[in-house]
Structure 1
Amino acid sequence: MGQIKACLFDLDGVIVDTAKYHYIAWRELAAELGFEFTEEDNERLKGVSRMTSLNILLEIGGVTLSDEDKLKLAEKKNENYRTFILKMQPDEILDGAEAFLKELKAKGIRIALGSASKNAMTILDRLQLTHLFEAIIDGTKVSEAKPDPEVFLKGAEALNVKPDECVVFEDAEAGVEAALAGNMKCIGIGSPDVLGKANMVIDGLHQMSFEKLMELN
């Protein structure tokens, strides 16, 4: 493996927790369709695309719709979600994330975002973190979903570093698999039971430091 030169970060669950806003937006949609959507149901939507999520939601409610109606509903859900994220404040950054990003920057480590979210730029702007990222690869720039490594490979390319010089920070199993498939090291954030394939698993970026990162070299 190459010397670590860059860190690539997923957004949701790593730098900020927008999952609650996704859940509220889906729950509101279900209520309009006349059924309840629980937090337990919501677990099935983690790391899944918007249209697949909608299909799962409709299946739970026993609702059948035309493709045209599905697109309208997916758009409505996204509009609901965006009303929440447009009110986000910098105090919603997850514990330790900003400090770790600043430490990496001070040490000359390149930083990119690798997120499937099409709203990534909006969220980073609201959190006032955009200036810390040299490259932002989001859902508007990729065609393949994780576990395909496309989002991280494009991040490495944008930073002009080799994949084996990158460390990815991910909270989802598909994201860990994407990083490893791209020949990158990966630090999982969350449960070792779920993220066991990662090179290291931590509870959050508050447990990270430049020194700890260098242990992966």
Structure 2
Amino acid sequence: MSTIKGLVFDLDGVITDTAERHFLAWQRIADGLGISIDREWNERLKGISRTESLELILAEAPTLILDAAGKTQLLDEKNAHYLELIAEITAADILPGIPELLEAAKEGGCRMAIASASKNAPIILARLGLSDTFDSVIDPDALTHNKPHPEIFEKAAQALGLRADECIGFEDSLAGIEGIKRAGMPAVAIGIPTFGQWIPDIEVDATRELDLKKIFSQLAMKERVEG
């Protein structure tokens, strides 16, 4: 295994948990269309883009036909609702264990990037007081493919000036884990109960369990065993 020099993080569910706010914003859109979605259904939207999320919701009402302008209007409305909901986010909303992990990474000289499908990542990071913590925030609008394609993780490594195998990816979605592994990065899965084809290198139940020294040690041990 190459020496790890960079860390690549998803945002929602890894750095902070805005999932409930996303759900409430999408639920408001769905309600306006006469579509019912609950929190369990909302799990389908985890890790995918805003446009893909809207298409999944619209698929619940196959007789509802919207043109491109109608869909764009709904996407703008959802984002407006979401921005209202995140207006009160503060550093107190950073998930447990993440401040310590970021500090350990900084002290160890690791470069760090955000690889999130959220177009609002810079706004959220600013509200969390973390804008200066990350060396790069990948713009999802500049990507050709969404997760689970590895593009966003490949771009993150490139932005850090590193190879993919010199970075560790942190994700809380199956789509994200697949993208990390396809990019050639070691993957840390957070709070994912089951896996399919793409198995992470390290699993934790919650962010509070993340410890950078232990992660490095586990990855080194894994390589020795597999080597």
**Smaller-chain TM-score range?**
over 0.9
Secondary structure (helix, strand or coil) at the match of 2:92 reads: helix
Q: Give the 3 Å change call, closer, same or farther, for CA 22–180 of structure 1 in structure 2.
A: same
Question: Counterparts of 1:56 and 1:192 in 2: how far apart (Å)?
Answer: 22
Match of 1:8 in 2: 8
Question: Counterparts of 1:20 and 1:33 in 2: how far apart (Å)?
Answer: 20
Match of 2:43 in 1: 43
Match of 1:18 in 2: 18
| Deviates most, 72-81 or 44-53 | 44-53
1:73-118 C-alpha deviation (Å, 9 max, x unpaired): 1111111111112221111111111121011101111111111111
Secondary structure (helix, strand or coil) at the match of 1:201 reads: strand
TM-score, scaled relative to structure 2:
0.89
Match of 1:126 in 2: 127
Spell out the pairing of 1:15-164 with structure 2 (5 A cutoff).
Answer: 15-61=15-61, 64-67=64-67, 68-164=69-165
Deviation, structure 1 residue 20? 0.5
Match of 1:205 in 2: 207
Residue 191 (structure 1) aligned with residue 184 (structure 2) = no
Secondary structure (helix, strand or coil) at the match of 2:59 reads: helix
Secondary structure (helix, strand or coil) at the match of 2:47 reads: coil
Amino acid at match of 2:123: T
Q: Give the 3 Å change call, closer, same or farther, for CA 149–59 of structure 1 in structure 2.
A: closer
Could you list the structure 1 runs, at least 4 aligned residues long, displaced by more than 3 angstroms after superposition: none
Alpha-carbon contact 2:173-2:192 (below 8 Å) kept: no
Alpha-carbon contact 2:169-2:185 (below 8 Å) kept: yes
Alpha-carbon contact 2:170-2:190 (below 8 Å) kept: yes
Deviation, structure 1 residue 34? 3.1
| Deviates most, 145-154 or 26-35 | 26-35
- Report the aligned-residue RMSD: 1.7
Secondary structure (helix, strand or coil) at the match of 2:56 reads: helix
Deviation, structure 1 residue 192? 4.4
Alpha-carbon contact 1:134-1:159 (below 8 Å) kept: yes
Q: Which runs of 5+ in 2 are unaligned?
A: 221-227
Question: Counterparts of 1:149 and 1:86 in 2: how far apart (Å)?
Answer: 31
Question: Counterparts of 1:117 and 1:18 in 2: how far apart (Å)?
Answer: 10
Matched length:
217
Question: Counterparts of 2:106 and 2:52 in 1: how far apart (Å)?
Answer: 37
Question: Counterparts of 1:76 and 1:7 in 2: how far apart (Å)?
Answer: 33
Secondary structure (helix, strand or coil) at the match of 2:189 reads: strand
Alpha-carbon contact 1:113-1:136 (below 8 Å) kept: yes
Secondary structure (helix, strand or coil) at the match of 2:71 reads: helix
| Deviates most, 56-65 or 157-166 | 56-65
Question: Counterparts of 1:81 and 1:55 in 2: how far apart (Å)?
Answer: 18
Deviation, structure 1 residue 179? 1.0
Question: Counterparts of 1:65 and 1:71 in 2: how far apart (Å)?
Answer: 13
Alpha-carbon contact 1:30-1:61 (below 8 Å) kept: no
Deviation, structure 1 residue 32? 2.1
1:112-166 C-alpha deviation (Å, 9 max, x unpaired): 1111111100000010011111111131332211121111111111111111111
Question: Counterparts of 1:55 and 1:48 in 2: how far apart (Å)?
Answer: 11
Question: Counterparts of 1:124 and 1:89 in 2: how far apart (Å)?
Answer: 9
